[in-house]
A and B are shown apart, each in its own frame.
Chain A
Amino acid sequence: MPKSKSAYSISTRKQKSDTYIFVVWVDNEAGVLARVVGLFSGRGYNIESLAVAEIDAVKNISRITIVTTGTPQVIEQIRLQLTKLVPVHKVAEFKREDKNVIFKEMALFKVVGKRIKIEKCLNACKKFNPVILDETKSSAVIQITALRRDVDIMSKKLKPLGLISTSRTGAVAMTRGAKIFN
């Protein structure tokens, strides 16, 4: 434990952190993303990935999906603090292991190399609905949709096969079945 002479207490208990996905419905207005992200950085919460886009142009609503880690107490604080923001309509949070929720992330891989190598890449990506978006004699841009960890694995796998550039979205989430979150 550090021998601090600060005016504050030393943190004592270490709790287990888990990964959670927050889905936040917000008014699509200037600065709203800064408010949400600023809340995370200002209170020392961590952001693993972030995806945001308008989902309802009439009501002017955007949906922000944030992957974060924290102890149960921190996760509850994040939810309550987010709910307090004026432009926030509702907040949902899911554990990453939650079987009732679909999490997906899209990735673009640019592969440079001979035809055989590109074929190998496509083959390796087979499980993740690979789509070729662009092709030349010596290169290809491949799109896959997968879980975060699968994208991690794939980008490692493709490195020796000529992967030179990766671009990926943050995870987005949706519940299974007919229900929606209220």
Chain B
Amino acid sequence: MPNLFTGAEIVFKCLEDQKVEHIFGYPGGAVLPIYDELKNHSSIKHILVRHEQGAGHAAEGYARSSGKPGVVLVTSGPGATNVVTALTDAYMDSVPLVCISGQVPTHLIGTDAFQECDTTGITRPCTKHNWLVKDINNLSNIIHEAFRVATTGRPGPVLIDIPKDIQFAKAKYTKPKTQKKLNGKSHNKFSQNEIDELIKLIRKSNKPIIYSGGGVINSGPKASEALRELANLTGFPITSTLQGLGAFPGDDNQFLGMLGMHGTYEANNAMHDCDLLINIGARFDDRITGKIDEFSPNSKKVHIDIDPSSINKIIKVDLAIVGDVSSVINKINKTILKSKNGNSKSNKSNIAKWWEQIEKWRKKDSLNFINSNETIKPQFAVQRLYELTKNKDTYVTTEVGQHQMWAAQHYKFNKPNRWMTSGGLGTMGYGLPAAVGVQIAHPEKLVIDIAGEASVLMTMQEMSTAIQYNLPIKIFILNNQYMGMVRQWQELLHEKNYSESYSEALPDFMKMAEAYGCKGIKAENPLSLDEKIQEMVDYDGPVIFDCHVDPNENCFPMIPSGKPHNQMILGPNDQQENKIKGKGKALV
């Protein structure tokens, strides 16, 4: 007679074999057998959140900062529906999550039982795949496969729905099989010919640019190293998407800053004028491309991506290389090095003029702003935060809105996995729980959530989680009393009709900090800002930092209004005739 285990035991045996150390969850009726089993597995630590959405975002922060899949455990019905936002967020930003949800017992499925919902139906469009376990004998294989699906190829969330009777039922446990191809879905399909083709384009190019994205981060730290080597070998300018920040050092001279709607003048102009565009692990998102007809009109376009469906989805490319970014770039580097031994060193001389042009654009200093001695400018706050924390290995998460863009523009990341933000879905309330997850993965590191006061209120309850586990996260709130990005669009597009974007009532964040049991710091004066930030950084424990900033500040530069990359609105120092009008409104 072989050893039989209950479904709940099998869940933990799988998690142990998948080397899971932390799960983020919230108990409820339909997962009680699994929670009951928790005590017998000391290698797995459960983090109790305050809302299932928080569990999902915490797992995302955990996964993004560590490269390991995040694991979420929730109950049926509301537990599952609450986690849907986080699953969708992870799906859009390619974050590997494994979500285990309880379900009502098999015989009650379909009867509108208490806390029943069609979890696999609801989560089908926001997961890579999901499973409803109907037979205990399939449970271990399904969980192992779930981890494989979540972490291979383009990573993403998966969900396993386990009815309560399956959690009690008994079966044999099967260990994970050694890697087998999923339905023949292999991921590295590129050939040396394609690489040679790319090298030819690189040779011929006079105005090249590398545009790198989150795929470089997802491919692991080695991909970032390879990217740095590629940039070094070619001397090409490089820009990055929001998700790709940190793959290439933000303070390196070859780095042009972020591109896209709130990208730098030099990055966007270089994208527009280039003759060779090498997209590495990015997806031509609509916040990047602006008006598609006029996107980088004169360039040969190369797209390196692990997901074949990303290629030609939005922008037609001339050369597509489907594969893991890390293996592709390494192959490119090797080929360049090999050919170098023969003759000409590189085309760095070809692109000298291009760099001159880029330096001209750079002189515009498009991230500038008019600083003030009376009010704290939000950009100034981020800059000071950067200066005072750059020597620590700091991890930054954000919420969504103006503060997120300012953080992306003014905080410079030098390493991958240090920057966690909700890009694709744009989920307000992401940053605080994500910081919880990051801190769990990196207990000794400084973790800061650069937040807006509106966003942070959406998941504020997770401060309680931070207190419970002594997580010294720093919530750095740029408090402008508005939903700032909404206000900005209303100012620019809707004749300053600030419809419902002002929060007439806000909590006193100092008292809130006290109520949660953490430290509160308030800053209202730019002169004492440094001192207060230092106080926050030095404090050993969670902090809510209420930074009162200029409520009327807008986030520039900005590509408005049906305009291509080379027609941006710059900041107040550069007031031009750029007024948004007509059909252009729709593009912002």
Contacts and interface: CB of A to CB of B under 8 A. Distances in A.
B392 interface: no
A38 interface: yes
A7 B488 CA distance: 12
Given A83-B308, A86-B149, A86-B182, A42 B493 contact: no
Contacts of B185: 83-84
A80 B303 CA distance: 16
A35 B311 CA distance: 22
Contacts of A8: 286, 586-587
B309 A84 contact: yes
A153 interface: no
A13 B315 CA distance: 13
Q: Considering residues B132, B184, B291, B308, which has the most beta carbons from chain A within 10 angstroms of its beta carbon?
A: B308
Given A9-B587, A80-B308, A86 B293 contact: no
B121 A34 contact: yes
Q: Considering residues B308, B309, B493, B587, which has the most beta carbons from chain A within 10 angstroms of its beta carbon?
A: B309
Interface in A1-59: 1, 3-10, 12-13, 30-31, 34-35, 38, 42
A127 interface: no
Interface in B245-286: 286
Given A1-B583, A3-B583, A12 B308 contact: no
Contacts, number: 70
Contact of B124 (A7, A12, A31): A31
A4 B583 CA distance: 7
Interface residues of B, number: 34
B487 interface: no
Interface in B451-499: 489, 493-494
A33 to B, nearest CB: 11
Nearest to A87: B183
Interface string B545-588: 00000000000000000100000000000000000000101111
A13 B309 CA distance: 21
Contacts of B493: 5
Nearest to B582: A3
Given A9-B292, A12-B293, A76-B312, A30 B586 contact: no
Contacts of B585: 3-5
A141 interface: no
A7 B588 contact: yes
A10 B290 CA distance: 11
Contacts of A6: 586
Interface in B289-319: 290-293, 307-309, 311-313, 316
Nearest to A73: B312
B134 interface: yes
A179 to B, nearest CB: 20
Contacts of A81: 309
Given A3-B583, A5-B585, A9-B587, A84 B124 contact: no
Given A5-B493, A80-B309, A86-B182, A38 B124 contact: yes
Contacts of B120: 31
B160 to A, nearest CB: 13
B443 interface: no
A88 interface: yes
Contacts of A138: none
Interface string B119-143: 0110011001100101000000000
Interface string A67-103: 0000001001100110111111100000000000000
Given A10-B586, A31-B120, A76-B312, A84 B292 contact: no
B183 A88 contact: yes
A30 to B, nearest CB: 7
Nearest to B124: A38
B308 A4 contact: no
Contacts of B125: 38, 42
Given A8-B586, A89-B183, A30 B307 contact: no
Contacts of A85: 129
A42 B311 CA distance: 19
A105 B76 CA distance: 43
A162 B500 CA distance: 62
B124 A35 contact: yes
Nearest to A81: B309
Q: Considering residues B121, B183, B290, B308, which has the most beta carbons from chain A within 10 angstroms of its beta carbon?
A: B183
Nearest to A30: B132
A84 B313 CA distance: 14
B500 to A, nearest CB: 15
Contacts of A31: 120-121, 124, 132
A13 B307 CA distance: 25
A13 B293 contact: yes
A77 B183 contact: no
Contacts of B308: 80, 83-84
Given A5-B494, A12-B293, A30-B134, A77 B124 contact: no
B98 to A, nearest CB: 14
Nearest to A34: B124
A170 B82 CA distance: 38
Contacts of A86: 128-129, 149, 182-183
Contact of A5 (B182, B309, B311, B586): B586
Interface in B198-241: none
Nearest to B293: A12
A76 B314 CA distance: 12
7 contacts: A1-B583, A3-B585, A4-B586, A8-B587, A9-B286, A9-B586, A34-B121
Per CB-CB distance, the 9 closest pairs between chain A and chain B, nearest first, are A80-B309, A86-B129, A4-B586, A42-B125, A5-B585, A80-B308, A10-B586, A81-B309, A9-B587
Given A4-B585, A7-B586, 16 more contacts: A9-B290, A10-B562, A10-B583, A10-B587, A13-B293, A31-B121, A38-B124, A42-B125, A73-B312, A73-B316, A76-B312, A77-B309, A77-B313, A84-B308, A84-B309, A89-B184
Interface of A: 1, 3-10, 12-13, 30-31, 34-35, 38, 42, 73, 76-77, 80-81, 83-89
